[in-house]
Structure 1
């Protein structure tokens, strides 16, 4: 893996920020394992759930702290993962204010997964010409992010499987590029079929395929 700081780009990723991000990942992976191990059996008591929640909180606290430090140093992927944390654990009414600035900055730096959070939570921005411009930049900046995948998302529309409970859906870089084409199809009605076909060609994008089929009937 080439170090991110070695990539030729206007604003290379700060190596110290990258170290903080990688440290945060260790805790995020532990939290992922804990949350996927949550038991919702009939015998699970409120006390059990509370204890599981507290244990998860103890794992997530250092992750959030490290992500915030990486964000202070402009790390685009840390911005996304911190926003994803807010999207998962904050009350819905607080999510746009907490997550949207992080998502918009991450996407402006060319990190594709942020676009999905924007689609769900940042309605004004998702209709803007700035959003459309950011989506167009993603393929050119893709090489700098190759080593950061797979990445989790709340919901991958191109994926046929529905996420279960707190579980995230994980996507490869090409899965997220297919999502970008799907979004571009939504933004540009005149070129809709071209973009949706690109999404289908890239990873068999289920949502785009359904749209194309329904238009042919």
Structure 2
């Protein structure tokens, strides 16, 4: 018998641009292409670069909060300083958003929610939040709850919440994520500091929102939120309803 020889593999030379794209795909985090989600590798690289700058700014913010009081004047000064520090990160986020990155959309909206005057936030942040949650990214739903009352009460938002639960694993590699306020969390944010949540914390928030918008199934969704992370915001209300 003659042994079958495996023919030698052909080697192809990749042009510079193709090689760069291939490297980006290799470096992209696990989950970026999971369950049909297609995130442009270059967009994800831009997001990761912005994330490094955001983490540096968060460290500065924490240091500032520990050393100073939290008067309105201090907070205003802190906000101005942070805005300047975050400018390079915001530029990178905007470029990633142009390439349709769902998580970059949320983080850019969160920047607007934190540093813009309140009357400017809905116009700047809501389009980003609405698209991000429509793509299944759970944290964006909390921004909509706070700043986008029209969409918050729409049938489209209810469908988005259902979709978030269905595709949650798409974004597992992008957690933890910050938020202005996690209502299922007992702790209160201080100054301009953010609250950070794991994937399960945000899923609990989604169940809380679904309970809010579905009175007939409210206890069902709220129990799911409590079972997931002990959601403080609805736990007491569930207990009181039993009496």
Question: TM-score, normalising length from structure 2?
Answer: 0.82
Partner of 2:224 in structure 1?
198
Give structure 2 stretches of 5+ with no counterpart. Answer: 1-27
* C-alpha distance in structure 2 between counterparts of 1:96 and 1:53, whole Å: 19
Residues 41 and 126 of structure 1, relative CA distance in 2, 3 Å threshold = closer
RMSD: 2.1
Aligned length: 213
Larger Rg: 2
| From 97, 110, 113, the counterpart of 1:87 | 113
**Aligned with 1:114: secondary structure?**
helix
* C-alpha distance in structure 2 between counterparts of 1:93 and 1:59, whole Å: 23
Q: Is the 8 A contact 1:160 1:206 kept in 2?
A: yes
> In the alignment, is residue 21 of structure 1 matched against residue 47 of structure 2?
yes
Q: Is the 8 A contact 1:132 1:187 kept in 2?
A: yes
* C-alpha distance in structure 1 between counterparts of 2:217 and 2:52, whole Å: 42
Partner of 1:209 in structure 2?
235
Q: Is the 8 A contact 2:31 2:172 kept in 1?
A: no
Partner of 2:38 in structure 1?
12
Partner of 2:149 in structure 1?
123
> In the alignment, is residue 73 of structure 1 matched against residue 99 of structure 2?
yes
Question: TM-score, normalising length from structure 1?
Answer: 0.92
**Aligned with 2:196: secondary structure?**
strand
Partner of 1:174 in structure 2?
200
Partner of 2:68 in structure 1?
40
Output one character per residue of 1:30-77: Cα deviation in whole Å (capped at 9) or x when no partner. Answer: 1111111113249x9x79x84x65553332000000000000000000
Q: Using the TM superposition, give the Cα deviation of residue 138 of structure 1 relative to its aligned residue in structure 2, in angstroms.
A: 1.0
* C-alpha distance in structure 1 between counterparts of 2:174 and 2:195, whole Å: 15
